[in-house]
Amino acid sequence: MVDVVGVIIAVVILIIAWVIVSIPLWLAAKIVAGENATMGGAMIGMLVGGIVFALVYILTYVATSIFVQSSVAVIVSAVLAFIAFLGLFKWLFRTSWLGAFAIAILAVVLAVVILFVIGAILAAVGVTVLAL
């Protein structure tokens, strides 16, 4: 029998995590695209972006690995998947290709800064991760 409470807790945790990981993207899009950036758009970007990246990567890898070495197929697939990811940002936040690239880079930088700050706060209050 399915543990309904466990499933509900898992779904709630996934939704909370989805919101949290969307925050750096939203902030980056707000800085670059201004009023075209919404939290809902950032959440859609995180969800659909991951799916688009994975699909383009897999399909491109399968198609290119037939003709070229595996290492070349990996690079080609990653580049095309990233371009597809940028295309989603371009469409979602109504910006240019350069703006989409800036959003992607700035979101990573903001995520690192946010994680560093959270880690510093947790360390300051004595919370350790993985018993380190």
Cα of 5 vs its chain's centroid, Å = 28
Q: Give the domain extent around 70.
A: 4-124
**What are the pLDDT digits (tens) for 50-64?**
999 999 999 999 999
Whole-angstrom Cα distance, residue 19 to residue 76?
A: 31
Q: Are 93 and 37 spatial neighbours (Cβ–Cβ below 8 Å)?
A: yes
- Give a yes or no: residue 52 inside a domain: yes
pTM score above 0.75: yes
| Residues 6+ positions from 14 with CB-CB distance below 8 Å | none
pLDDT value of position 131 = 56
Residue 94 burial (10 A CB sphere; 0-12, 13-18, 19+): middle
Say which amino acid occupies 121. Answer: I
pLDDT in tens, the chain (132 residues): 778 888 999 999 999 999 999 999 999 999 999 999 999 999 999 999 999 999 999 999 999 988 888 889 999 999 999 999 999 999 999 999 999 999 999 999 999 999 899 888 988 898 876 655
Output the CA torsion 46→51→54→93 (10° steps).
-50
Whole-angstrom Cα distance, residue 17 to residue 116?
A: 17
Total structural domains in the chain?
A: 1
- Give a yes or no: residue 131 inside a domain: no
**What are the pLDDT digits (tens) for 64-85?**
988 888 889 999 999 999 999 9
- Give a yes or no: residue 62 inside a domain: yes
Whole-angstrom Cα distance, residue 27 to residue 111?
A: 10
